[in-house]
């Protein structure tokens, strides 16, 4: 992994991978959409409303997976001071926040016709809302410091503390009575969902995951360039300052 610690190497490798990743994402999302809307059968109880599942569930999985990557990147940044880990964490956060919002909104649109309520304060929904606020809190905290490095450290610590929400989300449907249905894919004893629904769901989930990877690489590239830009501007300003104010000693004071 340390081979990619070098931003220059990362820029080169990501430039090679990105076009392929983007094409694979587009193909999978396209296929997933066709399967979800045209091939998958209506549910015997929920009718056509079950098609909301094909965006809601992948968004929910990705919301949690993105938080896990945010936490892992934060741990790597805190422990090894890996130069790319902070960037990865900071760029994963907005993507995760958007997918959490998609999960909450599509879930609300599914809950209304099935449960008769847009929102209920039950464990699964509430722990997912907490995840959304964790993302927002992380983003706000990272940007609250003038010193970039301090902001990154504070954010990383918050990200690690927030990991406790992930098992709560996962097991909330087992630990508490809830309107939300229990796990039907990742459970002991295998999936209980019909294959005709599982296949479109997995294609969609893989498409969402590749979308996350594509956008994350793109955002990391943008962030690395933005940092380079700041360094260049600083160097230029310093050079201009020296030129305008005449020679200075090593400490920067005018001779």
- What is the binding site for other proteins (CB under 8 A)? 37, 42, 47-49, 51-52, 55-56, 59, 94-95, 98-99, 101-102, 105-106, 109-110, 112-113, 211, 215, 218-219, 221-222, 225-226, 228-229, 231-233, 235-236, 239
Q: Which is nearer to other proteins, 75 or 98 (CB)?
A: 98
Q: Give buried/exposed letters for 200-220 (b at 16+ CB in 10 A, else e).
A: bbebbbbbbbbbbbbbbbebb
Q: Which is nearer to other proteins, 15 or 157 (CB)?
A: 15
Cβ at position 233, least distance to other proteins in Å: 7
Strand partners, 43: 47
Cβ at position 180, least distance to other proteins in Å: 16
Cβ at position 229, least distance to other proteins in Å: 5
Q: Which is nearer to other proteins, 120 or 218 (CB)?
A: 218
Cβ at position 207, least distance to other proteins in Å: 10
Give the C-alpha separation, 63 to 199, whole Å: 20
Cβ at position 16, least distance to other proteins in Å: 16
* Short-list 166, 167, 173, 178, CA closest to 122: 178
User: Is 157 in a helix, a strand, or coil?
Assistant: helix
Q: Which is nearer to other proteins, 18 or 130 (CB)?
A: 18
End-to-end CA distance of the chain: 47
Q: Which is nearer to other proteins, 81 or 234 (CB)?
A: 234
Q: What are phi and psi of 92, to 5 degrees?
A: -75, -30
C-alpha distances (whole Å) from 149 to each of 8, 57, 71, 74, 248 are 20, 35, 17, 12, 28
């Amino acid at each position: 992994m340390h081979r990619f610690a070098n931003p220059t190497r990362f820029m080169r490798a990501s430039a090679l991978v990105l076009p392929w990743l983007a094409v694979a994402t587009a193909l999978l999302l396209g296929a997933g959409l066709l399967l979800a809307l045209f091939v998958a059968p209506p549910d015997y109880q929920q009718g056509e409303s079950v098609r909301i599942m094909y965006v809601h569930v992948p968004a929910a999985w990705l919301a949690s997976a993105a938080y896990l990557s945010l936490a892992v990147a934060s741990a790597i940044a805190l422990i090894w001071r890996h130069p790319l880990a902070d960037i990865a964490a900071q760029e994963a956060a907005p993507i995760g926040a958007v997918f959490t919002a998609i999960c909450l909104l599509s879930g609300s649109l599914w809950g209304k016709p099935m449960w008769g309520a847009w929102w209920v304060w039950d464990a699964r929904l509430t722990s997912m809302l907490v995840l959304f606020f964790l993302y927002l809190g992380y983003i706000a905290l990272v940007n609250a410091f003038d010193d970039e490095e301090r902001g990154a450290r504070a954010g990383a610590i918050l990200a690690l503390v927030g990991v406790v929400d992930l098992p709560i989300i996962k097991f909330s449907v087992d630990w508490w009575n809830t309107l939300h249905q229990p796990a039907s894919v990742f459970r002991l004893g295998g999936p209980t969902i019909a294959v005709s629904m599982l296949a479109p769901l997995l294609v969609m989930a893989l498409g969402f995951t590749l979308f996350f990877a594509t956008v994350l690489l793109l955002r990391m590239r943008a962030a690395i360039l933005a940092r380079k830009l700041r360094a260049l501007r600083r160097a230029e300003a310093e050079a201009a300052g020296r030129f305008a104010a005449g020679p200075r000693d090593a400490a920067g004071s005018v001779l």
